[in-house]
Structure 1
Amino acid sequence: MSEQPAPTSGDEAEDDGKPTPTLLEQMGGISGLIYSSVPIVVFVLVNYIFDWQPALWAAVGVAVAIAVLRLVRREPLQPAISGLFGIAVAAFITIRTGSAKGFFAFGIWSSLVYCGAFLISALVRWPLAGVIWSTLNNTGFKWRSDKTARLYYDIATLVWILVFGSKFVVQQWLYDQNNVGLLGLARIAMGYPLTAIAIAVTVWAVRKADKRLAELNAGEQPPGGQPEHPPRPAQEEPAT
């Protein structure tokens, strides 16, 4: 009876012919970036013309319509679901505070939480940029044992700290000034553009860390799998 080939997994698994989606595609593509900004723009405009109550329901209605549109067009639903959740929380806070600026409170304080999480991870030598990437891609944490490789992820984590920290500082100041119009503008302008920069730095860090680990592995494993120092041939004993 012939042996059956062992099942493959990970990189050895059979290719299903589908290309791996890019980060932009996972975020919903260009259309997803545009869709995520529409409810915010609608809220700011309607609030400026009328009041926060009709602005809130207009934003919720637009978010629901976008989710239905993506469902009908069979586009990725994850960005739409995330958008609906964010709008729902923003609507709840707005109703509780009775103020238009409450629409942005959830995003502002979320930025502070993320900033704190990335900062703590860097201080305890578990930079979150590397931890998240390694977890999502199941590549392990060997990079933590090398200072140079870990430094690259420290840099990427620092960029995320600056991104979330700047979002909180700027938008919290506008929140205190009760400037809803500029709050909406800052939310959009400091959203995906800054996130794209942080993602680019993270990709750079991943490539540099992987290259560093590959160089270390190459040093440990000589070419051809031969030992670096082959055993010396035994010397023959002199004839007596």
Structure 2
Amino acid sequence: MTAPQPDPSQSEGSGQERDPRTPQEPSPVAGLAADYAAKAGLHRTHDGRVDVLRSAGGVQGIAESIMPGLVFLVTFTITQELTLSLIAALAAAAVFTVVRLIQRRPLTQALAGVVGVGISAWLANTTGKAEDFYLLGFFTNAGYILAMAVSVFIKWPVAGLLFGFIRNEGLDWRKEPDRLRAYQLGTWIIVAVLALRLIVQVPLYLMGQDGLAALATTRLLMGAPLYILGVWIAWLVTRPAPAVDPASEGPAAKA
């Protein structure tokens, strides 16, 4: 005689225990955190580490962020013609959009770049000052600094929302004071990178056209390369402590 099979319709309250092997559905809040990280463009490698290069947009994404400003600088340095230089920068940004269309890749990053370059070109053309091509970046940078600082003070640090997804921690790190502090520190590291940009570049901007070449150069060097370095350091600083295997502690630990 075969053993009676359990009725799958029985509720947990009837005494039937849930099979621990049954996968649990992620909480809605953890799902939101994962969605936020994905929309923020953060990616992970096959072995669970943060893919910093891909998160920065990959080689093509970095080129999209660098080339319009570089084209503007080179063109203006050679011709001293502001309008021509702005048109060249806009054309460079538009080329990347066309490339993405041909590749059938998402246009979000390229279109955002075109809009950003367009606003920057409008500002410079309106004021007649070449250095104002870089003015929008200061406000964007300051906005990120403010948002990240607020996230630390309200105990929802941005580094935790992003890295927690990568590490499959969801939002559990908020329940552990040590992990929360680590992610607050990681967020401050990214804030420091953004603040360093302003500290170095704003004085160059205030020098007017005399500081244009230095401003453009530091803008390139302190853009994607510095961002990648900052994210990588924040990732290392926020690593969780390795789990201790009780079996490896030896007999002395069990005494």
Same fold, TM exceeding 0.5? Answer: yes
| Alignment correspondent of 2:88 | 58
Given the alignment, which residue of 67, 72, 75 partners 1:43?
72
Q: Does 1:177 align with 2:207?
A: yes
2:156 counterpart SS class: coil
Q: Where does 1:56-205 land on structure 2 (aligned, <5 Å)? A: 56-134=86-164, 139-178=169-208, 179-205=211-237
Provide the rounded CA distance (Å) in 2 between the counterparts of 1:177 and 1:56. Answer: 20
Query: 1:127–1:153: 8 Å Cα contact kept in structure 2?
Result: yes
One-letter code aligned to 1:36: S
Q: Label 1:58 to 1:88 Cα distance change in 2 as closer, same or farther (>3 A).
A: same
Q: Give, as a single letter, the amino acid of the residue that structure 2 aligns with 1:90.
A: S
- Secondary structure, in 3 states, of the residue corresponding to 1:55? helix
Superposition deviation, residue 161 in structure 1: 1.3
Deviation at 1:107, TM superposition (A): 0.5
**Structure 2: which 5+ runs fail to align?**
1-7, 9-21, 27-44, 247-255
User: Whole-Å Cα distance in 2 between the matches of residues 157 and 121 of structure 1?
Assistant: 9
Structure 1 vs Structure 2 CA RMSD: 3.0
Residue 78 of structure 1: how far off its partner (Å): 3.3
Structure 1, unmatched stretches of 5+, are 11-18, 220-240
Q: Distance in 1 between matches of 2:116 and 2:181?
A: 34
Distance 2:120 2:166 in 1: 28
For 2:172 and 2:54, locate their aligned partners in 1 and report how far apart those are by CA, in whole Å: 28
CA distance in 2, matches of 1:66, 1:54: 19
* Deviations, residues 34-72 of structure 1 (Å, cap 9, x unaligned): 232111111011112222111001100111012102221
Whether the aligned pair in 1 keeps the contact of 2:148 and 2:158 (CA below 8 Å) is yes
More contact order relative to length (CA 8 Å, sep ≥ 6)? 2
* Separation in 1, partners of 2:168, 2:129: 44
What's the % identity of the aligned pairs? Answer: 27
Q: What amino acid is the match of 2:180?
A: R
Q: Which has the larger radius of gyration?
A: 1
**Closer, same or farther: CA 192–152 of 1 in aligned 2, 3 Å:** same
